[in-house]
Structure 1
Amino acid sequence: MQIDIHRKVRGLARCLEEQPMPGFREVVPGFASVTVFYDPLLISYRQAMQQLQDRLAHLSAASVDCPREVTIPVCYGGVFGPDLAEVAKLNSLTPEEVVAIHANETYTVYMIGFAPGFPYLGGMPERIATPRRATPRLSIPVGSVGIGGSQTGVYPLESPGGWQLIGRTPLALFDPQRAEPSLLRAGDLVRFQPISEQEYEKWGETT
Structure 2
Amino acid sequence: MKEARYAFGGDEHVFVEVDEEMSLEAFFKSLAITNAVRDSQIKGVTEICPANASFQIKFDPDVIKPDDMLAELKKLEAAAEKAEPRLQTRIIEVPVYYQDPWTHETLMRFRERHQDPNGTDLEYAARINGYGSVADFIAAHSGSPWFVSMVGFVAGLPFLYQMVERERQIQVPKYLRPRTDTPKLTVGYGGCFSCIYSVRGAGGYQMFGITPMPIFDPQQQLNYLSDFMVFFKPGDIVKFQPIDADAYSAAVEEVAADRYVPRIKEVTFALDAFNADIDGYNRKLEEALHAN
Q: When the two structures are superposed, what TM-score results if normalisation uses the length of structure 1? A: 0.91
Matched residue SS, 1:120: strand
Instruction: Structure 1: give runs of 5+ residues left out of the alignment.
Output: none
1:30 and 1:152 map into 2 onto residues whose CA distance is 15
The structure with higher relative contact order (CA 8 Å, sep 6+) is 1
- The aligned counterpart of 2:239 is 191
- The aligned counterpart of 1:122 is 161
Q: Which runs of 4+ in 1 moved over 6 A?
A: none
Matched residue SS, 1:55: helix
1:24 aligns to 2:45 (yes or no): yes
User: Which of 159, 180, 188 is the aligned partner of 1:138?
Assistant: 180
- The aligned counterpart of 1:102 is 141
Answer whether contact 1:22 1:43 (CA < 8 A) is retained: yes
> Measured at CA, do residues 23 and 195 of structure 1 come closer, stay the same or move farther in structure 2, by a change above 3 Å?
same
* More divergent stretch after superposition (185-194 vs 45-54): 45-54
User: Which of 61, 66, 69 is the aligned partner of 2:84?
Assistant: 61
Q: Deviations over 1:106-129 (max 9, x none)?
A: 111110111111111112665642
2:243 and 2:171 map into 1 onto residues whose CA distance is 22
Structure 1 position 151, deviation (Å): 1.4
2:206 and 2:51 map into 1 onto residues whose CA distance is 23
1:65 and 1:13 map into 2 onto residues whose CA distance is 13
The AA in structure 2 aligned to 1:184 is: F
Q: Give the CA RMSD over aligned residues.
A: 1.9
> Measured at CA, do residues 105 and 53 of structure 1 come closer, stay the same or move farther in structure 2, by a change above 3 Å?
same
Structure 1 position 81, deviation (Å): 4.7
User: Which of 124, 129, 145 is the aligned partner of 1:91?
Assistant: 129
The AA in structure 2 aligned to 1:199 is: A
Structure 1 position 203, deviation (Å): 0.5
Aligned residue pair count: 206
- The aligned counterpart of 1:113 is 152
Aligned-pair identity (%)? 29
User: Which of 92, 116, 124 is the aligned partner of 1:70?
Assistant: 92
> Measured at CA, do residues 9 and 92 of structure 1 come closer, stay the same or move farther in structure 2, by a change above 3 Å?
closer
* More divergent stretch after superposition (80-89 vs 115-124): 80-89
1:155 and 1:77 map into 2 onto residues whose CA distance is 16
Answer whether contact 1:124 1:151 (CA < 8 A) is retained: no
* More divergent stretch after superposition (164-173 vs 51-60): 51-60
* More divergent stretch after superposition (53-62 vs 101-110): 53-62
Answer whether contact 2:169 2:192 (CA < 8 A) is retained: no
1:91 and 1:7 map into 2 onto residues whose CA distance is 27
The AA in structure 2 aligned to 1:61 is: E
- The aligned counterpart of 2:258 is none
Which structure's residues are more often helix, by fraction? 2
Matched residue SS, 1:69: strand
1:136 and 1:6 map into 2 onto residues whose CA distance is 28
